[in-house]
Amino acid sequence: MGRLKDFFTKKDEKKLEEGLSNTKKSFLSRLGLIVAGKTKISDDFLDELESILIQSDVGVETTLKIIDALQIRTAKEKYLSFDDLVRMLSEEISKLLKKTDSEESDSKKSKPYVIMVVGVNGVGKTTTIGKLAHQFGVQGKKIVIGAADTFRAGAIDQLQIWADLANATLIRQEMGSDPASVAFDTIQAAKSKEADYVLIDTAGRLHNKVNLMNELSKVKRVMSKVIPEAPHEVLLVLDGSTGQNAFQQAKQFTQVTKVSSLAVTKLDGTAKGGVLIGISDQFEIPVKYIGVGEGIEDLQDFDPDKFVKTLFRK
């Protein structure tokens, strides 16, 4: 069993390495250029480093936190090698990510454990639900999915395909049905089936915040009538390839509902992976999952140490 576990761990690490390759190449190559030939930490050096972090979509406020921390740590240093800089940077970024990291064992979770999934259309919300269902299914868990995004053409059919792949039960109604009604039916079905996990898809329209807030509030209120604590988790899915747009999406969703965890998708196709660091820090919401590929197993549990180690590995 140990060898099998090691095999899958190495497989995941390799996929993470591949998924972060664009961000890594862009970030480390620029980092190497500003370190080369430097014999001390100067204001100009820190300005260049600040620019690199911002260009990597880490965000201004988070970048300033990192720069301030480095200034304190390097105040007495006369020489800084590339390895020294990488070590200090990685340690400071790890601190920021671990500040919001929250592990919770399955034994502490309610049954069924209800996850309401939110996010704008196009970020990979439906795909994330499908991959999560697969992940839980592989663990031997019983899953029920609620197709409460009843306004987007094709969303229900896409979920049906994913549900079939994960051997999960999909609760659906006709397109245009009341999302809260779907959520209610889903929770009831999950209770009767003694499901382990419930995944509720929701609409991703942001053109009217008031309507979105009312809709999400109604869905949550209806679910709580069946299970008082539901939803136990509100998972916001963000597209990592959109950089600063992901910040705006996070801002808008956190204004209309209480988000408890994040899934950052499409990191494999972008050099903007730094956005994950900034969003986690600025909104103080833990990143729980990251998407590093299109395959069904390419949604990984987020591990801050592995992420930073992979990002800075030469």
Task: Confirm if 58 and 66 have CB atoms less than 8 A apart.
Answer: yes
pLDDT value at residue 101: 64
Buried b (16+ CB within 10 A) or exposed e, 104-140: eeeeeeebbbbbbbbbbeebbbbbbbbbbbbbbbeee
Residue 48 has pLDDT above 90, yes or no: no
pLDDT digits (tens, 9 = 90+) for 58-99: 999 999 999 999 888 877 766 667 777 778 888 999 999 987
Q: Which of 314, 310, 313, 308 is nearest to 58 (CA)?
A: 308
pLDDT value at residue 8: 38
Give me the CATH code for the 107-303 domain, please.
Answer: 3.40.50.300
Indicate the pTM of the whole model.
0.89
Residue ranges, comma separated, of all CATH 3.40.50.300 domains in the chain are 107-303
pLDDT value at residue 105: 46
pLDDT value at residue 16: 84
Residue 104 has pLDDT above 60, yes or no: no
pLDDT value at residue 115: 97
Residue 230 has pLDDT above 90, yes or no: yes
Q: What is the rounded distance in angstroms from the CA atom of residue 216 to the CA atom of residue 222?
A: 10
Residue 201 has pLDDT above 50, yes or no: yes
Q: In this structure, which topology does domain 2-100 adopt according to CATH?
A: Four Helix Bundle (Hemerythrin (Met), subunit A) (1.20.120)
Mean pLDDT of 245-272: 89
207: pLDDT confidence band, cut at 50, 70 and 90?
Answer: low
Q: What is the rounded distance in angstroms from the CA atom of residue 118 to the CA atom of residue 127?
A: 12
Residue 5 has pLDDT above 50, yes or no: no
Residue ranges, comma separated, of all CATH 1.20.120.140 domains in the chain are 2-100
9: pLDDT confidence band, cut at 50, 70 and 90?
Answer: low
